[in-house]
Chains A and B, each alone.
Chain A
């Protein structure tokens, strides 16, 4: 048992830190800041910078274009990126569909799609949820009917994050409605430029446009875009969800946000003293910090198991619940720290160019808090997560 970073790991951290400092453009760092207001080009620009360094896929093996890093190195990289204020890498290609294609795809599919993910050339979105299929995803109805060399897709996906930026969608479709719902699902890769696809924005409670509905009207997709076998899509979807766990815990980002929270609490006043000296508020921050420490080391245990080839232990399934609860707690404390100044809303998205109201550190915090109310809903709601854990891990 050894919980210290080795000399080599410490040197690696220095190397990562130095690279980010030299390579992350200042205006991109500033825009990434606390807000969600990065556009398509911002995310892709950072991905291309990382790719040029050979770091486009920090969690992938070398033979797939990844870095082949150890779990500790991946953790260090995530921390340094978050600490430097770099834009988050998009999860849809790197953490979600990429590993599915790598594991279940044909050689041709791997060669076609994987390098483009690493290079930041394709933006992926996730076609899962439907109006009638949220928690009960297996009940999905979007149909794909075989017609010659194509599938013809008809249906309606919803809550599709950033579909408006996407080049491609990985989509769960129903190819068979006769048996068990899970057995009739197929995993399909869809070009978003295919005729018959309509993307409609859904404005969320933070006032931003990140969610969408996607309509499919007789959309022809080549059958070669199917991953694996017809009717085995649910298996691939479960594999994908299992992979999402360590990234969805969001440890590095939460660490950065907690640090920012303390900075804010130092700058704000309460009773004529810094808010951080207010006993009640300080205790609540301390609790969040304790929870973060527990989350970080749980995450490291899971990463270590991955690295040593052991399957994920039961604690892996808890990461989503613990990670999202903590994200929400930290965002809520940050909004609270602002007092009245949490509430001026300048509709930044409408292109208002005036200086922000209130302290500079208030920027984007209310929006982040509102956005992260979704964290306990997406990725499998926290209620469903508990059901799955109770059944699969505790045998209840």
Chain B
């Protein structure tokens, strides 16, 4: 058993880590988070140049041929830097879905464009009533005139306002909660009849609620088998969840480092507050939470290619632990920073908010624990 990174993975980690440190100073993060897009297209171009956008895509599409571990390496650095660029949605969830289930034409259209930084993807699966259930789809895609007509609502679609294409889960058959009958479509962001309500999220990113008013799609917009898209979507979401677990590790690492430094320097009662046993034990608990999350993020990254039940069970465990650890580390980082931890000015609160978002994404800790339990 070997937990060491390869030479290439180490280099990737160094390179993304340097980007996080140099480009994403906290000041720069704040400025970027307040722009219209919430991220910097120049950064995106840079990521394309450095090969990161295609890191997990095959070489034949202009990628580097990496897998779950490469994604984890990138994710951790993104978490450290609070990197705002929509990498997870475009390069991991969206592109991964097209890679796994798209037609040759779709793969040729989308994947090189993603790797080269010419195409941004969003993925729309959640709905007002669905909570975290991917099989709960009320949005319909009626077969009509050789193509499809999309109607319905999608909730909290991250970065839809910057996307060129939105992958949408809609029902071509079956009842609202049936596993069969769900189809995936590659929809142009400027499709007629697609209405968006854009907003910011707690972690200063961007999301939108979408309404599809009879959006007409050609047959070629269908990704994968008609009515058989759920398995593809679940796999893509698990890839996103594994990325989120690793991103949380990066965020928690920064919080632990920051908090440790703070308690060593903040003096009250004539000594550093880190001298007090209660504070010391708290820091140890934060360290334990991080290491547990790190271990399961690693396993999740490796098990992404396992058969579906093993993959799903492993991701559920990792995501549950990630959410629980993120909550403990985030909340205790604020607590130990005292009044300072409550300010918008300090980075700590913003890392906590990102950890909260990472917990919700793809299903929170409570949901994942129940999902894990269902596997017996």
Q: Which A residues contact B (CB, under 8 angstroms)?
A: 129, 132-136, 139, 158-159, 202-205, 207, 211, 268-272, 275, 278, 280-281, 284, 335-336, 339-347, 357-359, 366, 370, 373-374, 376-377, 381, 383, 386
Contacts and interface: CB of A to CB of B under 8 A. Distances in A.
Given A343-B356, A381-B335, 17 more contacts: A129-B339, A135-B269, A204-B344, A275-B131, A281-B366, A339-B360, A340-B155, A343-B201, A343-B360, A358-B128, A358-B155, A358-B209, A366-B202, A370-B353, A373-B352, A377-B334, A381-B338
Contacts of B130: 269
B209 to A, nearest CB: 6
Contacts of B200: 344-347
A280 B267 CA distance: 42
Interface in B8-67: none
Interface in B332-376: 334-335, 338-339, 341-345, 349-350, 352-353, 356-357, 360, 364, 366-367, 369-370
Contacts of B334: 205, 373, 377
Nearest to B204: A345
Given A205-B349, A344-B207, A135 B199 contact: no
Contact of B335 (A271, A281, A336, A376): A376
Residue of B136, B202, B357, B367 with most partner-chain A CB within 10 A: B202
Contacts of B345: 202-203
A339 B125 CA distance: 14
17 contacts: A135-B273, A203-B344, A203-B345, A204-B342, A205-B349, A269-B130, A271-B131, A339-B132, A340-B126, A341-B155, A342-B360, A343-B203, A343-B360, A344-B207, A377-B335, A377-B338, A377-B339
Nearest to B339: A159
Contacts of B357: 343
A344 B268 contact: no
A278 B176 CA distance: 19
B197 interface: yes
B249 to A, nearest CB: 21
Nearest to A376: B335
Main secondary structure on chain A at its contact with chain B? Answer: mixed
Interface of B: 126, 128-133, 136, 155-156, 176-177, 197, 199-203, 207, 209, 267-269, 273, 278-279, 331, 334-335, 338-339, 341-345, 349-350, 352-353, 356-357, 360, 364, 366-367, 369-370
Nearest to B203: A343
Nearest to B359: A336
A268 B360 CA distance: 15
Contacts of B156: 340-341, 343-344, 358
Contacts of B338: 134-135, 377, 381
Contacts of B278: 383, 386
Contacts of B126: 339-340
A281 B199 CA distance: 28
Contacts of A129: 339
A374 B342 contact: yes
Contacts of A269: 129-131, 136
Contacts of B199: 344-346, 357
A205 B340 CA distance: 10
Nearest to B199: A344
Contacts of A373: 331, 334-335, 341-342, 352
Contacts of A335: 356
A268 B128 CA distance: 9
